[in-house]
Structure 1
Amino acid sequence: MRIIHILNHTRRLNGNVHAAIDLACAQVKLGHDVLVVSGGGDFDRLLAGNKVAVERIDQERKPLTVLKALPAFRRLVKTWKPDIVHAHMMTSAVLAFPVCRLSGIPLITTVHNAFEKSAVLMGLGNRVVAVSEAVGQSMRERGIAARKLHVVLNGTIGSARFDGRSRTPAQMHRPNILFVGGLHPRKGLPDLLEAFRLTRQAGIITHLYIAGGGPFETEYRRLAEETGHVDAITFIGAIDEPFSYMMGADIFVLPSHADPAPLVLSEAREAGCAVIGADVDGIPQLLGYGEAGMLTPPRDPQALASLLIELLSDPRLLEVWKSRSQLNLGNLTIERVARETFDVYKSAMPFRARPTAAPA
């Protein structure tokens, strides 16, 4: 099958970019011909190294830029002759829709961030992929026809982005707690800082590591100082590869207020952390609805502190939850994502043109 993925850019800024890059590389491994069309970015070299073709078309969200991109994308589609076009961002979907309609090529869209108001534009696709059951439900409530919607849960294990990465644990104080995410309110870091304060106040000796950058870093550093335990809090900063910290972590915490299907959870589970996640959006599904990780109410530092105290007070229980993170881990592979996505593609194609099976 010949597949075009279209997205605004390939920079290391968004989880949806990571998911699209992972999928494109996995599809090549399964024998498909794949082209990524974007404004370019950090991952172009990785794509080329994994035999994914790359073309640049500026898709900045400006009317004039999109108007210029339309004929360029139309020419590319006529030349490359894809079986499927797959859009991963709202601007890309709007750009691809008329071209696919005129060309008679099925358009697939993936909703990565259902909390964005403009996510409803992803309904332009002949098929709409939701990255978790929660995202699928959200899109149905917003008027996307159920017949269009398919849930393909995010997964990262086996991603080409991780080829050759070190599995040596980072040097960290033990026992410890790790947060990886953007430093902005949606990720709920202030809740974790307060829960950490309560945990230390209960007499539990532990250290908190915070990996990530963002516009609220200065404010969150101030909140860390206000806990009275800033000497036990380390801001690692923004890093491209946090896996070594996950390998060295005891407890991974994601206290998000909204999170459609965070890729970081499959990485934390692969690393063997005990995992605590907020009971919101796609997080429960990624944690096996509580089987592979502990769930806590969002925006509730006291409840989160209670779980931290429970785990850190009982080394045997901590080991149990580290082991449970490995339950059904195969469901979080990028190969499973690629094969399920192939089934979505097939369902969107005219019956006479459908391939009989995914390549081996």
Structure 2
Amino acid sequence: MRILHLLNHTRRLNGHVHAAVDLACRQVQLGHQVAVGSQGGDLDALLRSNGVETIFASHDRGPDQVLKSFLGCGGVLRRWRPDIVHAHMMTSAVLAWPSCKLLRMPLVTTVHNEFEKGAILMGLGNRVIAVSGAVASSMRRRGIAGSRIDVVLNGTIGSARMRGRSEEPQNLDHPAIVFVGGLHPRKGLPDLLRAFDAAFPHNPAMRLYVVGGGPHQDAYERTARALPCADAITFAGPRDDPYRWMLGADIFVLPSHADPAPLVLSEAREAGCAIIGTNVDGIPELLEAGRAGILVPPGDCDALARALIALTTDPAQLSEWRAKSQLNLDHLRIDRVAEETLAVYRRAAGGAG
């Protein structure tokens, strides 16, 4: 099968990019011809080294450039002649849809960020992949027919992007609590800072490490500096090796207010962390409905503090939850994601025909 993935860019530190790159590389390993059309980025080298062709496809939406982007995308489809076009973001879906109609090529879309207003445009696909059951429910509420939606839960284990990474744990003080994510309100870091401050007196040896960057980093650092436990909080900034920090952690916390199916939970579970996540969107699905990680209500700093206290003051509970993180871990392998996605392609091709 000839598969063309379309996405805005191939830069690191974007979950939808990582998911698309992981999938494309695995599809080549399964014997398919695969290309990625985008405006490029630092993951292009990884794609090419895994046999994925990289093609420039403008995604510029500026008033003077959008027509050029439409025509450029159509030109890519005409030249490469894919059997399946797989769009990973709203701009890609909109640019590809007219040419897919004209050329009678099936279009598959993946909804990575359903909280965005433009996510409804992902319904342009013949088939719509939701990265969690929660995303599928949201898209149905927005008017996309359930008969066109397929759920393919995210997973990263065994992906080409993970090969060659360092397996040396980051040297951290213990008990070590790690957060990895973008520093913007949706990820809920202020809740974790307040919860950590409340839990700290129960075990002053605990340390919090914040890995990631974003537009609110300065504000969050100011908040942390004003806390009595400020000396126990480290902002490590964006890192190319976040998995090392997970390997060095005792506890991984994801306090998101909205998160369709965060790849970072797959990585944290693979690293063997005890996990605390919020009971929102796709997080419960990635934590086996609370069997592989502790679930707390989003925005509930008291509940989050109680979970931190329990894990940092009771070694038996910490060991128990680290072991539970391994429950049904194989379900988060990229092999399963690729096979389920190929099944969606076959349905899309049948429907388009």
TM-score (norm 2): 0.98
Alignment check: 8 A CA contact 2:104 2:352 kept:
no
Q: 1:227 to 1:68 in 2, by over 3 A?
A: same
Specify the alignment match of 2:11 in structure 1: 11
Alignment check: 8 A CA contact 2:60 2:69 kept:
no
CA distance in 2, matches of 1:57, 1:41: 12
- CA offsets 1:69-109 (integer angstroms, 9 cap, x no match): 22222222222221100000111100000000001110000
Alignment check: 8 A CA contact 2:166 2:241 kept:
no
Question: Residue 205 of structure 1: CA displacement?
Answer: 2.7
CA distance in 2, matches of 1:339, 1:66: 34
Specify the alignment match of 1:45 in structure 2: 45
Specify the alignment match of 1:265 in structure 2: 265
Mean CA deviation greater in 131-140 or 60-69: 60-69
SS of the equivalent of 1:108 reads strand
- CA offsets 1:318-352 (integer angstroms, 9 cap, x no match): 00100110010010011110100000000111379
SS of the equivalent of 1:349 reads helix
CA distance in 1, matches of 2:62, 2:333: 36
Specify the alignment match of 1:356 in structure 2: none
Alignment check: 8 A CA contact 1:8 1:59 kept:
yes
Q: 1:314 to 1:345 in 2, by over 3 A?
A: same
Alignment check: 8 A CA contact 2:256 2:280 kept:
yes
Specify the alignment match of 1:219 in structure 2: 219
Which residue identity is paired with 2:26? A
Runs of 4+ in 1 over 4 A off after TM superposition: none
Specify the alignment match of 2:113 in structure 1: 113
CA distance in 1, matches of 2:115, 2:6: 21
CA distance in 2, matches of 1:203, 1:4: 52
Specify the alignment match of 1:306 in structure 2: 306
Q: 1:351 to 1:191 in 2, by over 3 A?
A: closer
Q: 1:292 to 1:33 in 2, by over 3 A?
A: same
Specify the alignment match of 2:208 in structure 1: 208
CA distance in 2, matches of 1:285, 1:352: 31
CA distance in 2, matches of 1:283, 1:250: 19
Specify the alignment match of 1:342 in structure 2: 342
CA distance in 2, matches of 1:26, 1:307: 37
SS of the equivalent of 1:147 reads helix
Q: 1:82 to 1:203 in 2, by over 3 A?
A: closer
Specify the alignment match of 1:76 in structure 2: 76
Which residue identity is paired with 1:82? P
The 5 Å alignment of 1:259-298 reads 259-298=259-298
Specify the alignment match of 2:332 in structure 1: 332
Root-mean-square deviation (Å):
1.2
Q: 1:106 to 1:8 in 2, by over 3 A?
A: same
SS of the equivalent of 1:345 reads helix
- CA offsets 1:229-279 (integer angstroms, 9 cap, x no match): 111111111112201110010000000000000000000000000000000
Tell me, which stretches of 5 or more residues in structure 1 are unaligned?
A: 354-360
Alignment check: 8 A CA contact 2:126 2:351 kept:
no
Question: Residue 222 of structure 1: CA displacement?
Answer: 1.1
Mean CA deviation greater in 135-144 or 11-20: 11-20
Specify the alignment match of 1:184 in structure 2: 184
Q: 1:352 to 1:208 in 2, by over 3 A?
A: closer
Alignment check: 8 A CA contact 1:209 1:235 kept:
yes
The 5 Å alignment of 1:83-122 reads 83-122=83-122
Specify the alignment match of 1:175 in structure 2: 175
Question: Residue 202 of structure 1: CA displacement?
Answer: 3.1
Alignment check: 8 A CA contact 1:204 1:313 kept:
no
Question: Residue 223 of structure 1: CA displacement?
Answer: 1.0
Question: Residue 225 of structure 1: CA displacement?
Answer: 1.4
Alignment check: 8 A CA contact 2:126 2:352 kept:
no
- CA offsets 1:277-311 (integer angstroms, 9 cap, x no match): 00000000000000101100110111000011111
CA distance in 1, matches of 2:191, 2:15: 22
Provide the identity percentage: 60
Tell me, which stretches of 5 or more residues in structure 2 are unaligned?
A: none
Which residue identity is paired with 1:282? G
Which residue identity is paired with 1:178? V
Q: 1:352 to 1:310 in 2, by over 3 A?
A: closer
Question: Residue 162 of structure 1: CA displacement?
Answer: 1.2
SS of the equivalent of 2:289 reads helix
CA distance in 1, matches of 2:198, 2:189: 14
Residue 321 (str. 1) matches residue 321 (str. 2): yes
CA distance in 2, matches of 1:312, 1:350: 53
